[in-house]
Amino acid sequence: MSTGNRRGRLPSPPISYDARWANQLINQLEMNLSNTNLAASSATYTMTNVTADRVLDADSTTLAEVADVLGTLINDLRDRGVIG
């Protein structure tokens, strides 16, 4: 395990550790992530008249194109189970 400098917010792991503690930590993190995803996906959205569009020309676009791109993004997130 590395004990070098890290850029993230979490400290480097210790050289030795209690495996029970690590498993408990992982289980708690997974539960928190699951609860966060549930909270983010509790509302449902209904999309109508969406033409799948994944290209957005920021220099020349219409409101309808922006709406199609947004609708496509929402549908993609729903298909992946990220939102309801």
Return the SS3 of 66. Answer: helix
7 in a structural domain:
no
pLDDT at residue 66, rounded to an integer:
94
∠ Cα 43 46 47 (to 5°):
135
Give the count of domains, the chain. Answer: 1
For residue 5, being part of any structural domain is answered with no
Residue 24 lies inside a defined structural domain of this protein:
yes
Mean pLDDT of 44-62: 88
In a domain, 9, yes or no: no
Number of neighbouring beta carbons within 10 Å of residue 79? 9
- The Cα 11–Cα 58 span in angstroms is 40
State residue 69's pLDDT score: 94
- Give me the domain span that covers residue 65: 19-79
Question: Whose CA is closest to 68, among 47, 43, 41, 45?
Answer: 47
70 belongs to a structural domain: yes
Q: Which two tokens stand for residue 37?
A: 């995803």
Residue 41 has pLDDT above 60, yes or no: no
Average pLDDT, the chain: 80
User: Would residue 62 count as lying in a domain?
Assistant: yes
